[in-house]
Structure 1
Amino acid sequence: MLSKFEEAEIAAPSARKELKDRTIYTSIGFLPSNGLPLLSDFGEARFGDEKHDEDIMPNVYRAPEVILKTNWGYKVDIWNIAMLAWDIVSSHTLIGELVALLGPPPPEFRELSKPSSVFWDEDGKSKELAPIPDITLEGLSAKIGKIIAFRLFTIF
């Protein structure tokens, strides 16, 4: 599917608006389904290893470094893409699922910034601002396998 998407984009590029400092691209559908639309904004994507600390990304897709207001680089763009992909296969937030599967972040991570105290207490217990589902890694992998198989079956 990705190859077909890429070929279609090369053959007939998406509409775009050129501004002085950036280009705004029209989002086009990727999966051939009637699912919910996803809004994406890669206008704040960064190149190279420069460090930043400003807010970027829609709240729901923000990388932990951005949420906690620590220095971040281009790797947050990879997180952003992963979050979009995660939304396709899961009904829970990725952060909630990570905490459910891996436990709270270690103290050294929580101590990186003051905003972490909004999400966890001093002992690392979640203040449950984001719902934490009752899941296991085994159950999650089985569910994702079924979803992927169903999507592939409906595509072909």
Structure 2
Amino acid sequence: MKHLPKHLRPRYRYLGVELRGHPDTAIDRGAFQRHLWYAAQNLVGDAGSAALGLEVLGFEFVGGEGCAVVRCRRGSVDRARAVLACLGEVEGERIRAVVRGTSGTVRGCEEKFIHAPGGVSEERTVAFADADRRAVVREDGVDVRVGSSYVGATHLDT
């Protein structure tokens, strides 16, 4: 079977997505893909979800930080960004998905917007809410252990 001519092939755009969760959060590519499809169906319906054609091509998530390359059809980038903004949890774990940029190729997306997760972070004791608590300190914030979960804070809060 012959390939379609270039002018008849579907055109895609690639979104570079930064993922952030609590330090003990562990999710995989399949779970992220499934919840992305659910979010698309809830926001734009079944027909709209099929028209978006969302697919996770690259995924990495380690220690509460990660990144993904999400493919969508050209002309539907705004709706795809809205779907990613609606994604609040994966497998019961709260995450934040932020689109860092859009590219016409996977390679360009990875080079411009995808950075290896697992930046400089350390675990130490901080003063928070009138008590000494264990926390994971990152470059841009602090995740303070309160009870059995984490509370996000800034460096000025501790």
Report if TM-score (shorter chain) is over 0.5: no
TM-score (norm 1): 0.28
Structure with the larger RCO, 1 or 2 (CA within 8 Å, 6+ apart): 2
Considering fraction of residues, name the structure with more helix.
Answer: 1
TM-score (norm 2): 0.27
